A and B are shown apart, each in its own frame.
Chain A
Amino acid sequence: MYSLVKIELYKVFSRKRSYIGFIAIVVIVLIAQAAMLWEGQAMHEFITSNLSNAFYMQGNLVNGYLMTYLVLNFLWVHVPLLVVIVTGDLFSGEAHGGTFRLILTRPVSRLKLVSVKFIAAYIYTFVLMFLFAISSLGLGILLFGKGDLMVIFTAINIIPETDLLWRFIGAFVYGFIGMLAIASLSLLFSAMANNSLGPILTTMAVIILFTLITSFNFDIFRSIKPFLLTNYLDSWQGLFSYTVKLKALLFDSMVLILHCLIFYLITVIYFRQKDILT
């Protein structure tokens, strides 16, 4: 199993497209940080304009933590795309290239093959999210220093610096779990397809559609929202409320993990019965 994972990882990391995500993450974070370096103070003054009528404010609010929080907000919609362009190709790429016929003549069970592909996709997602965390948080603190974080979350929450690192680690861990669910969905579509583009586009279409339904506050959608994957993707923001509701966060992360399991099981069932014709 270990050697199968190693082979699968070798395949993932020897493809050029796997590095698109890494480069995109670093470039986007760099651009966002540069924009904040330029406009951060003005933005802060804009946000706090009505508070400044009543208060003098002293201290560094335009800091690395604020930058990371903003980058997280901007990117949680876009990171799925970076995940999917790699994970959506793991099955379909082989089907398209005709390599499944060769692999499946070896004494490797289909269950093992599916499991190994899921593990490789999860490891790639972890590396991507780790790079995201290091580049945004590390670079943010390096460029802007540390300080308290002001977050608007039903009220103005000013979270002290000493209380922030665990929240950010939690947010990235939660984000990672969310991306695992996205990766699992794309793997499911990938197993069903015989070309690379189809599963990537289908996964993105599903995410966009679900996100739209989640965003609209119409009664007609209210009853189906709890069943949509995207309803749980941004729950990491709960870590930045003044009093963190850990139970709700744990529930949401369990729902995401359940999605991963369901997508994995469907993929296994489907792939075991699939006729390899390409």
Chain B
Amino acid sequence: MQPLKKVFLVLAILLVLFSFTGTSAQVLPQGIPRDKTLILPFLFAPLPVPGNWNQWAGWRAQNCGLHQFVTEPLWTLNPDVVKGGIINALASEGPIYNKDFTRLVIKLRKGIYWSDGVEFTADDVVFTIQKVKETEGLDYHGAMQDVKRVYATDRYTVVVDLNKPNARFHTFFLERWGALRPMPKHIFSKVKDILTYDFNPPVSLGPYVYVSHDPAGYWVLWKKRIDWQRTVTGQLFGEPKPEYVLFIHYGPPEKQNMAMLRHELDVIQGTAEQMLTMLKMSNTTRSYRDTWPYIDPRDISTRGPAFNHLVFPYNNKDVRWALALSIDIVELAISTYNGMVAMTPGLPLVVGKNFYDWYFKPLEAWLKNLTLDIGGGEKFKPWDPDAPWRLLDWAKKNYKVDIDPKNKEEVQLTLGYGWWKYAPEVAEKLLVKNGFKKIGGKWHLPDGKPWKITILRGPDPTDMANIVILGVAEQWKKFGIDVVFNVSAAAATLALNGQFEVLNTGHGGFAGEPWGLHPDLYLCFNAMNSKYVRPVGEPTLGWACRWSDPRMDKIISSLEKTRWSDLATIKKLGLEGLKLQIEEMVAIPCFNCPIAIVFDEYYWTNWPSPKNDYARCDNFTTWPQLKYILHQIRPTGRK
């Protein structure tokens, strides 16, 4: 036989054999029907240790289904962002504190079972708190040192005695994106070393159980529990629709798009370009909105530049304001995200109905009257409430838009609250007032040296924070400041050490990430507590930007003494803190992080939309509240 013939023969045999290994190249194997399987993106893939599900002992890329299905918190954010608020998950009611916040009583829901048939009780919670307290290396070990004693008074009541007053101790058990969730005592109590235990296969408290995972860590398959009624999801929301849920990472955006075009991926969350490409290429896809700006704007974090307050000239409030006023926010929105973003002027002032009512509305009049002293006896009112409408006008010329410009609330909840005026002439006056000089179109520092801003950022070009900061740099260059980037994989370490001038506020040490659905801003403000400020070169435990103010310390201290359920006082203190941050321009938040989402309606439908607004869209990708919304989607009937 000739060599070429031999090669063809081998290839033919291989093709025949391949055909026995599963149906064509479809992602799902035989026996797992596609029409009953929801395929979701695994955004933080791969699993760091495939086969290790012990998420109490370190990072496990838990959004592979682990924190969606295996664990259940005591309390959690309501997936319904329109209603908002915190809902009771394993707890049957809110946290009960004594008068001086040294005792927390937790009442538990009855009738909840682990997937192996053992009932969930107070013993699980007591065991978890004790184990975490005594085991170094477990997550929340530090936080649990505040526990003096923990015990159960009956099968469904836990009492936690604290070493010192803490009105927010329960927030360690409140799921935002992460919480201390109960371990199954009947399994973990038999384990010699909890730190090294792999918890494989995991036992679930949620409505799905583990089936299998990729040895490389790129996919995990889950199956609905037969006894899903005996879960929090079953009790509160009803039966989740999909029989199976597959979390899978296909690789770069191009491959994710190919997978969705093959109907092997039901949801994509990525960049604006990726979203627009998919909407154009497939007639079965849609995003949150049917028309521009498509995105769901309601993430609970903000993006934009922030400063090292220990480094000159960023320790000067006038300089920070000048940098804010030299940014044309509408141009920035268009250049970075095709305008598909919601603008916000406050670091933790996220865009969403709750924050709109709690904080923006009460701030609006104050923002209008906010006045800056720009030198030479001149005053300037920087607030620009019209910026969202200018963005809307631009969009109308370029896209089909379905937003009523007369509906103020709709415009502000879609495109943002407003921003600072684009006023380079005022920025110039503020800088001149502080001794800066513009020579040959370029700004120079008061000592005569050319002003060069170095921005520290991470290497990921698809990270929203990096996209925005690139746009901001262009704005500052246009204003006459030289801008360079320090692109470093070590950005996180450098930021904590204060080895930077300017960085982006993406996840700025929680200074910019509130609970979102509860008005308490303690965790954002506490990051700015003066006791955490460290000199440059020493790692800080608080906000990397090292801003502090005695007035903020006072607000933090008042919040510490305020009951979590005392919403009126919490909001009052929150407003005070926000005003202080804005007045001081501690950072320049530009936009809410946009959720650029694509849903494929080939196999599943009834995804969230403004008219059917049952959840924030990223609950379908990475958030633990996924389990509470799976009863909402419906199969299309396609096989």
**A, B bound:** no
